[in-house]
Copies of this chain bind each other. A is one copy, B any other.
Amino acid sequence: MSERRLALGLSMRYLGYHAAGWRHPDADAAGTTSFAHYRTVAQDAEAAGFDLVFLADGMAVRARDEPKGALAQSSQIADFEPLTLLSALAAVTSRIGLVATASTTYNQPYSLARQYASLDLLSDGRAGWNVVTSWSDAEARNFGLETNPDYATRYRRAEEFVDVVTGLWDSWDEDALLHDKENARFLDPAKLHPLNHHGAEFRVRGPLSVPRSPQRRPVIVQAGASEAGMNLAARTADLVYTVPQSKDAAIAFRKDLRARAAAFGRDPDSLRVLPGITPFTGATDQDARAGYDELNALIPDELARQYLYNQMGDLSAYPLDGPVPTPPADAAVGSIAKNLCDMAQKNNLTLRQLANIIAAGYGARVIVGAGESIAEEMLDWFHSGAADGFNICAPLLPNAISAFSAHIMPALEKSGLLTDRTIPTLRTRLGLPDVKSRYA
Contacts and interface: CB of A to CB of B under 8 A. Distances in A.
Interface of A: 20, 22-25, 27, 29-30, 33, 35, 39, 58-61, 65, 71-75, 77-81, 83-85, 87-92, 106-108, 110-111, 114-115, 117-119, 121-122, 138, 141-145, 172, 177-179, 181, 184-189, 192, 202-211, 298, 300, 303
Contacts of A24: 181
Contacts of A22: 179, 181, 186
Contacts of A35: 90-91, 121-122
Contacts of A74: 186-187
Contact of A144 (B84, B111, B202): B202
Given A22-B181, A33-B177, A84 B81 contact: no
A34 B306 CA distance: 46
B189 A65 contact: yes
Q: Taking the full assembly, how many copies of this chain does it contain?
A: 2
Contacts of A177: 30, 33
Top 5 closest A-B pairs, CB basis?
A: A87-B87, A29-B179, A81-B118, A141-B205, A91-B91
A178 to B, nearest CB: 8
A59 B122 contact: no
A72 B187 contact: yes
Contacts of A117: 81
Given A77-B209, A87-B88, A144-B202, 20 more contacts: A29-B186, A30-B177, A33-B121, A33-B210, A35-B122, A59-B209, A61-B207, A79-B211, A80-B118, A80-B121, A81-B111, A83-B87, A84-B122, A92-B92, A106-B108, A107-B111, A141-B203, A141-B204, A142-B204, A142-B206
A133 to B, nearest CB: 16
Nearest to A72: B185
Contact of A204 (B58, B87, B111, B144): B144
A141 to B, nearest CB: 4
Residue with the greatest number of chain B CB neighbours at <10 A, chosen from A29, A60, A142: A142
Contacts of A203: 141, 144-145
Given A142-B204, A184-B73, A192-B61, A172 B78 contact: yes
Contacts of A107: 111
Contacts of A73: 184-186
Contact of A205 (B80, B88, B142, B208): B142
Contacts of A29: 179, 181, 186
A187 to B, nearest CB: 6
A186 B188 CA distance: 55
Contacts of A184: 20, 23, 72-73, 298, 300, 303
A414 B387 CA distance: 66
